Amino acid sequence: MSMNYLQYIQRDPGICGGEPVVTGTRVTIRTVLASLAEGMSVEDIIADFPSLTPASVRAVIAFAAVSAEEDLPLPAIPVLA
């Protein structure tokens, strides 16, 4: 079952230049993902950004997973001899 991340992610040209953020905050998706990549735990991220919740951090991960999936090239079709 995949998470419905849409309620947690927002893009608005008036907020952070239209970069995706967690809804109701100015915390960018990029910031959350960079924090995770640096090894921060969800609890650490929430301590740094108290407007986030465990669910919103999971939504960021789900958003990134779907975005990456959409950007992956299609595998080549094998040529049958």
Q: Tell me, yes or no, whether 76 lies in a domain.
A: no
CATH of the domain at 44: 1.10.10.10
10-36: per-residue pLDDT in tens?
999 999 999 999 999 999 999 999 999
Q: Tell me, yes or no, whether 75 lies in a domain.
A: no
The pTM for the full model equals 0.80
Per-state percent for the chain, helix, strand, coil, to nearest 5: 50, 5, 45
> How many residues make up the chain in this entry?
81
Between 68 and 33, the higher pLDDT residue: 33
Confidence category of residue 67, pLDDT binned at 50, 70, 90: confident
CA-CA distance, 76 to 7, in Å (whole number)? 35
pLDDT of residue 46: 97
Number of domains in the chain: 1
Q: Tell me, yes or no, whether 64 lies in a domain.
A: yes
Q: Which domain holds residue 47?
A: 5-70
pLDDT of residue 69: 75
CA-CA distance, 76 to 36, in Å (whole number)? 32
CA-CA distance, 40 to 22, in Å (whole number)? 18
Q: Tell me, yes or no, whether 80 lies in a domain.
A: no
